């Protein structure tokens, strides 16, 4: 997906978490700075260009969360943040909720993510594990197996079934693809047939 922040773990020891209680933000500031924040309990991990910083929770209320360590400080209020880092201040940083969803998947270890509409669906590939979230209720379907690559056709595909008997054929093809709802531009076209019904959408590699 265009606009994903390139995360460099720098010197801090960040360990990816798949905990649903983790909150992830993708902030853009007026001066062009972009950074990702992952809040896990009392720690906020801040992924800045070229470095990762961990700050500890100083105060927490319904209106604002404040994290800090030494001279560095982060204040999160709703979908806005103020960051004080190495003597510089970055104010009015706005969270991009849609992009934050992709950043959370990336931090959780997801290798590839795809989306589609009518009905809505989400695809997440992590190693040899393929997960589909189908419909507005996000019913999960899990498939296991290695994806194969056809070098001549420049496509990646999977064909198989899961323990519940659902049949899947999945194909990923490098091509510019624009999401029909958000208008976001992606690098990969996603097409799959699930139990005889074909769906199309867009996706991007996260690692």
Give me the torsion for CA of 169, 109, 80, 60, rounded to 10°. 130
CB neighbour burial string for 79-113, b if at least 16 within 10 angstroms, e if fewer: eebbbebeeeebeebebbeebbbbbbbbbbebebb
- Judged against a pLDDT cut of 60, whether residue 33 lies above it is answered with yes
Please name the helix (run of DSSP H) or strand (run of DSSP E) that holds residue 201, with its range, or none: strand 197-205
- pLDDT above 50 (res 7): no
The pLDDT value recorded for residue 27 is 98
Q: What is the pLDDT of residues 86-108, one digit of tens each?
A: 999 999 999 999 999 999 999 99
Mean pLDDT check: name the lowest of 12-21, 36-45, 46-55, 157-166: 12-21
Rounded average pLDDT over 177-194:
94
Mean pLDDT of 97-124: 95
User: Which pLDDT score, from 0 to 100, does residue 13 have?
Assistant: 54
Half-sphere exposure of 79 (CA within 13 A, CB side): 9
pLDDT tier at 172 (50, 70, 90 boundaries)?
Answer: very high
pLDDT of residue 20: 63
Three-state SS for 9? Answer: coil
**Residue 14, pLDDT score:** 53
Across the chain, mean pLDDT equals 89
Q: Torsion over CA of 50, 13, 47 and 36, rounded to 10 degrees?
A: 150
pLDDT-derived band at 153 (thresholds 50, 70, 90) equals: confident
Measured distance CA(67)–CA(44) in Å, rounded: 7
The pTM assigned to this predicted structure is 0.84
Sheet hosting strand 121-126, strand order edge to edge: 139-144, 129-134, 121-126, 112-116, 197-205, 185-194, 167-178, 155-161, 148-150
pLDDT surpasses 80 at 190? yes
Q: Which of 190, 198, 192, 184 is nearest to 4 (CA)?
A: 184
CA 183 to chain centre: 17
pLDDT score of 21 more than 90: no
């Amino acid at each position: 997906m265009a606009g994903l922040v390139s995360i460099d773990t720098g010197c801090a020891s960040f360990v990816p978490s798949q905990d649903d209680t983790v909150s992830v933000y993708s902030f853009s500031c007026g001066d062009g700075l972009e950074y990702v924040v992952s809040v896990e309990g009392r720690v906020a991990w801040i992924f800045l260009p070229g470095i990762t910083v961990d700050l500890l929770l100083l105060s927490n209320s319904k209106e604002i969360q404040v994290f800090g360590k030494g001279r560095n400080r982060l204040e999160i209020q709703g979908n806005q943040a103020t960051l004080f880092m190495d003597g510089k201040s970055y104010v009015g940083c706005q969270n991009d909720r849609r992009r934050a969803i992709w950043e959370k998947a990336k931090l959780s270890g997801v290798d590839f993510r795809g989306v589609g509409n009518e009905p809505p669906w989400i695809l997440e590939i992590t190693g040899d594990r393929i997960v589909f979230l189908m419909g507005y209720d996000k019913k999960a379907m899990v498939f296991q197996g290695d994806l194969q690559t056809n070098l001549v056709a420049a496509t990646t595909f999977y064909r198989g079934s899961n323990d519940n008997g659902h049949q899947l054929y999945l194909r990923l093809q490098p091509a510019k693809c624009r999401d029909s709802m958000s208008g976001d531009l992606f690098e990969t076209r996603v097409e799959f047939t699930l139990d005889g019904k074909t769906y199309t959408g867009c996706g991007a590699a996260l690692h």
